[in-house]
Amino acid sequence: MRKERRIETEMIHSNDKHDHGYGSLSAPIFQTSTFAFENAAQGERRFAGKEDGYIYTRLGNPTVKALEERIATLEGGERALAFASGMAAVSAVLFSMTRAGDHVLCSNGLYGCTYGLLQMMKEKYGITHDFSYMQTEEEIKALINDRTTCIFVETPINPTMKVIDLEMVAKVAKQHDIPVIVDNTFCTPYLQRPLEIGCDIVLHSATKYIGGHGDVIAGLVIGKAEYMNRLAKSEQKDIGGVLSPFDAWLLLRGLKTLHIRLDRHTSNAAWIAERLNEHPIVKRVYYPGMDDHPQKVIIDKQMKSGGGVIAFEIEGTKQEAQSFMDHLNLIKIAVSLGDAETLVQHPASMTHAVIPEKDREKMGIHDGLIRLSIGLEAVEDLWQDLKQALNHSNRNKVRA
Ligand X SMILES: *Cc1c(COP(=O)(O)O)cnc(C)c1O
Footprint on this chain of ligand X (rule: CB under 6 A)? 85-87, 90, 111, 113, 154, 158, 183, 185, 205, 207-208, 217, 219
Minimum CB distance to ligand X smaller for 74 or for 87 = 87
Give Cα 57 distance to the centre of its chain: 25
Minimum CB distance to ligand X smaller for 197 or for 218 = 218
Minimum CB distance to ligand X smaller for 30 or for 111 = 111
We find the least distance from the C-beta atom of residue 113 to ligand X, in angstroms, to be: 6
Minimum CB distance to ligand X smaller for 297 or for 354 = 354
How many angstroms separate the CA atoms of 134 and 151, rounded? 10
We find the least distance from the C-beta atom of residue 103 to ligand X, in angstroms, to be: 21
- Shortest-Cβ-distance residue relative to ligand X: 86
We find the least distance from the C-beta atom of residue 174 to ligand X, in angstroms, to be: 24
We find the least distance from the C-beta atom of residue 111 to ligand X, in angstroms, to be: 4
Can you state the angle between helices 112-125 and 86-97, rounded to 10 degrees? 40
How many angstroms separate the CA atoms of 57 and 54, rounded? 8
- Among residues 345, 313, 326, the alpha carbon closest in space to that of 385 is found at 326
Type of residue numbered 183: D
**β pairing state of 309-314 and 282-286:** antiparallel
Contact predicate 90/183, CB 8 Å: yes
We find the least distance from the C-beta atom of residue 90 to ligand X, in angstroms, to be: 6
How many angstroms separate the CA atoms of 69 and 353, rounded? 37
Minimum CB distance to ligand X smaller for 94 or for 379 = 94
We find the least distance from the C-beta atom of residue 2 to ligand X, in angstroms, to be: 24
- Which residues, 6+ apart, have CB-to-CB distance to 25 below 8 Å? none
Minimum CB distance to ligand X smaller for 79 or for 208 = 208
Burial group, residue 337, by CB count within 10 angstroms (0-12, 13-18, 19+): buried
We find the least distance from the C-beta atom of residue 209 to ligand X, in angstroms, to be: 10
Contact predicate 79/72, CB 8 Å: yes
We find the least distance from the C-beta atom of residue 328 to ligand X, in angstroms, to be: 21
Task: Give the containing element (helix H, strand E) for 372.
Answer: strand 369-373
Task: Give the containing element (helix H, strand E) for 333.
Answer: strand 332-333
Task: Give the containing element (helix H, strand E) for 332.
Answer: strand 332-333
Minimum CB distance to ligand X smaller for 154 or for 385 = 154
Q: What is the CB-side half-sphere exposure of residue 239 using CA atoms within 13 A?
A: 20
Minimum CB distance to ligand X smaller for 27 or for 243 = 243
Q: Please state the length of the chain.
A: 400
